[in-house]
Amino acid sequence: MKLKDRIAIVTGAASGIGAASARLFAAEGARVALVDLDEGGLAAVADEIRAKGGEALEIVADVSRDDQAGAGVDRVLQAWGKVDVLMTAAGISLGGTVDKIDEAIWDRTFAINVKGTYLWVHHAIRPMIAAGSGAIVTVGSQLAQASLGKNAAYVASKGAIASFTKTIAVDHAAQGIRVNALMPGVIDTPMPARSLQRQADPEAARQVWRQRHPMGRIGQPEEVARAALFLASDDSSFVTGTLLFVDGGWTAH
Ligand code: NAP
């Protein structure tokens, strides 16, 4: 087991990439704190983990709230005494070109995607610094490097996460903490499904997505989860400050 006796926190754990990663971390021996706004989704993932003999802690929280991030990390420390792994998968994608998106869309996107990443890292990295070890996995997007357009706030937020990941990796490497970002391609979760609903011809848009990946398909959340496990575990012991593209070749051309 790659995460035996490790304590992991996963935000956005009620759905998609976060849920798949939380399930895999638990299967690999971690006790997992599941963070999300979606209480029902969290309970379903936690029940699945427990049914397989794992341990899960449900933390209903808005990742963009400092008080809730601080209280969430405190709950994990009270329950389990340490934090070994943090994965920040909570995020939103609202679409729109810069002339159309209003200030509220920009602020909400940055509050959840960027500030939500900062806040959970800010609180969870302190016990890691005290322990002299830890692995942090943030979640950017392949769009930060090669955008299809029409999602200005989201793409900017994912570029910010990539830069944030690299600079904090430098700051905390000597303290035994590794920080890396996953940069997924289009992955089959509710997020792109909602984006498709905004398209005039959803099936045509889905076909463009498939073709845009040289592998000719979109990815599955479990394929990203396996990359998350690599970055969260000792398998990546000399890897920090890396952007790991799990994108079927999207950014290779
Ligand atoms: P998803 O299925 O929508 O999961 C995201 C989860 O985050 C949802 O459970 C969502 O809850 C939760 N969330 C949203 N706002 C929150 C908040 N303020 N506080 C706490 N939880 C909140 O999406 P996904 O595809 O798995 O995305 C996971 C991450 O991967 C995101 O950062 C996304 O940008 C990134 N990513 C996804 C893709 C893709 O194609 N799927 C590609 C590249 C990167 P609600 O459902 O209640 O909003």
Q: Is residue 195 part of a domain?
A: no
- Residue 96 sits in which domain range? 7-187+224-245
CATH of residue 150's domain is 3.40.50.720
Q: Quote the ligand 1 centre to 182 CA distance (angstroms).
A: 13
Q: Quote the ligand 1 centre to 50 CA distance (angstroms).
A: 23
What span, in angstroms and rounded, lies between the C-alpha atoms of 157 and 147?
Answer: 12
Q: Is residue 70 part of a domain?
A: yes
3-class state of residue 120 by DSSP: helix
CA-nearest residue for atom 47, ligand 1, is: 38
Q: Is residue 250 part of a domain?
A: no
pTM reported for the whole predicted model: 0.99
Ligand 1 atom closest to the Cα of residue 112 is: 18
Residues touching ligand 1 (Cβ under 6 Å) are 12, 14-18, 36-38, 41, 62-64, 89-93, 112, 139, 141, 184, 186-187, 189-192
- pLDDT digit string (tens) for 42-85? 999 999 999 999 999 999 999 999 999 999 999 999 999 999 99
Q: Is residue 199 part of a domain?
A: no
3-class state of residue 183 by DSSP: strand
Q: Is residue 200 part of a domain?
A: no
Q: What is the mean pLDDT of residues 127-155?
A: 98
Q: What is the mean pLDDT of the chain?
A: 98
Active-site residues, by number, are: 154
Q: Name the residue of 10, 17, 213 to mutate for ligand 1: max ligand atoms within 8 A of Cβ.
A: 17
What span, in angstroms and rounded, lies between the C-alpha atoms of 75 and 57?
Answer: 9
**pLDDT greater than 90 at residue 253:** no
3-class state of residue 185 by DSSP: coil
Sheet holding 177-184: strands in order across?
Answer: 56-60, 31-36, 7-11, 85-88, 134-139, 177-184, 243-246
